Amino acid sequence: MFDKNTYIKRRETLKKLVKSGIIILFGNNESPCNYPNNAYSPFRQDSSFLYYFGANRDGLVGIIDIDNNTETLIGNDIDIDDIVWMGPVDSVKDMASAAGVEQTAPFKELKHICCEALKNKRDIHFLPPYRSDIMILIYDLLGIHPNQQKEKASLSLIKAVVKMRSVKEQQEIEELERAFEIGYLMHTTAMKLTREGVTEKFISGQLDGIANSYGSKVSFSTIFTQRGEILHGAPTMTTLKNGKLVLCDCGGETINNYCSDHTRTYPVNGKFTQKQLDIYSIVEAGHDLVLQIAKPGVKWFDVHMDVCRLMTTRLKELGLMKGDVEEAVASGAHALFLPHGLGHMMGMDVHDMEGLGQIYVGYDDEIQPSTQFGTGSLRMGRRIEENFVITDEPGIYFIPALIDEWKAKGIGKDFINFDALEQYKDFGGIRIEDDVLITKDGCRFIGNKEIPYHPKDIEAFMNQ
C-alpha cells in the first residue's frame, strides 16, 4: 500500500468528479480452481478497488457516500477456522485505518445500505462488473439483471476513474519502474535459455517463476512461441529449432500490482538471417519512430498511422506491397501485416482499465474507434497527456490463413504482392514492445536500462 493520504486524496477527488450519490466499489472474491476451497493463487484484488481503498483481501466492498461525506469499508473479519489454515489477517478496521477510512461494517450491512439508497431514490454508482459472482451480488443488492449491468453501470463513475487512473502519480511511475525490473529479468533470462532443443514450455515456465519470485505474479499469461504470427500464441511442448525466430511477450506484476509488458523477437541460434533482418528492421524503425513523435497533445491514433505508413513504405521497398502508400494505408491494406493496434494504456492492469470500456479509456468525444479491420483493434486513439503510460508495440506478421483469404477475395489486391508473399508463409511474426512514459515535452521508456532489441545487441547478448 501507499501512504494512507494517497487514498484519502484519491477518494476526495473522486467525490468531486462524480458529484452526488453513493459509490460502490466491489473488491474481488477468491476465484476457485476445480473446487471452492482450491483457489487460484495469489489472490488478485480488483484494480479500481485497490486504487481507492488499498486493501488486498477478498470479500471487501468500499462505500463512498458523496452526499453525506462518509466512507465505509464493508467486510467480515477472518474467523479462527481460517486463521488456523491461513494465519492471522488484519482486521477490517485495521485495513480501513491504513487507507484513511473511518467507518467499517460487516458484510450483511451492505444490503441495508443499498435498500436505503434505493428507497430514497439516490443515484447508486458502480463500475461494469466482470466476474459472475459480483454480477450475482449486484442482482441481489440492486435488482439489476446481469445482462443489463454493463449498460446500467455509472458513466460518470467510469469517466471519473478513467480520468484519474490514466495520469500516473510519481509513486505509480516508481512502481512501474519496479515492474520493469521484473520484466527485464524475465526477458534476458529467456534470451539466455533460448537454444535448439529446449521446449517453449520450459522457458515460459522459468519466466513465470521469475515473476512469482520477484513480485506478485505474471502481469498476463506468458507468450513464448516460434509461431510469432499467432498474436497470443501460448507456449507448447514444441522444441526450439535453429533458423526459427522466437517471440517472447511477457511481464511481471509488483507486490503493489503494477505491471510491465514487453515483447522481444530473436533467432533461436542467436544470429539473424538476412531475410529475418529485412523484416525485423522495419518493425525496429516503427518502434523507434514512436519515441520521436509521441508527446502531450498528439493523438495516439496519428502515431499509430505514422507507424503504418512507415511500415507500408518499407514493405513496398521489399516488394511485398505496391501502389500509393497513402492509398494503401487508407484502404487498410497494411493490416494484413499489422492486424492490431500500436499500443494500450498500462498501469495496475496490463491493459489498463480495459474492463471499464475501451471506448472510454482509449477514446473520447473527439476521436472514436475505427471499424476497419486492424485499425479497429487499436485500443488507444485519443490525445495523450503527460504521465500517461502506453505500450509501443508495432509488429509484422505473416498469417497463412489470412493471406489466403485476402488473396481469394481480392482484398488489398491493388496494394499487396500476393505472389511474393508465398515465400513468407513459414516466416512467423515479429513484434517489439516497450512501455512508454509520456513526459512534459516527449516520451521515454519505462526502466533505466534496455532489454536488448537492436539486432547487433541481441546477437551480442545471446552469444556472450
Query: 31 pLDDT exceeds 90?
Result: yes
Lowest-pLDDT choice from 75-79, 262-266, 281-285, 435-439: 75-79
Task: State the Cα–Cα distance between residues 226 and 337, nearest whole angstrom.
Answer: 17
Residue 464 — very low, low, confident or very high, per pLDDT cuts 50/70/90?
Answer: confident
Q: Is the pLDDT of residue 244 over 90?
A: yes
Q: How far apart are CA 368 and CA 381, in angstroms?
A: 8
Strand partners, 35: 33
* Closest listed residue to residue 157, CA positions, set 345, 28, 21, 56: 21
pLDDT at 89: 87
* Structure confidence at residue 340 (pLDDT): 97
Instruction: Please give the pLDDT value at position 119.
Output: 96
Please write the tens of the pLDDT for every residue from 125-155. 999 999 999 999 999 999 999 999 999 999 9
Question: Which comes out higher in pLDDT, residue 78 or 299?
Answer: 299
Mean pLDDT of 338-359: 96
CA 417 vs. chain centroid, Å, equals 34
Averaged confidence pLDDT in the chain: 97
| Residue 233 CB neighbour total at 10 angstroms | 18
What's the pLDDT score for residue 186? 98
Please state the rounded mean pLDDT for residues 275-304.
98
Indicate the angle between helix axes 200-214 and 170-193, nearest 10 degrees: 150
Confidence of residue 82 (pLDDT cuts 50, 70, 90): confident
- pLDDT value for 39: 87
CA–centroid distance for 41 within its chain: 20
Does the pLDDT at position 86 exceed 90?
A: no
Grid coordinates belonging to 164: 484519474
Distance CA 453, CA 68 (A): 54
29-43, 86-100, 253-267, 359-373: the lowest-pLDDT one: 29-43
Cβ neighbours of residue 152 closer than 8 Å, sequence gap 6 or more: 144
Average pLDDT over residues 406-415: 97
Q: What is the pLDDT of residues 371-395, one digit of tens each?
A: 999 999 999 999 999 999 999 999 9
Q: What percent of the chain has pLDDT over 70?
A: 100
Across the range 290-301, mean pLDDT stands at 98
Q: Cα(404)–Cα(382) distance, rounded to whole angstroms?
A: 34
Which cell numbers in the block locate residue 453? Answer: 532489441
Query: What is the mean predicted confidence (pLDDT) over 433-449?
Result: 97
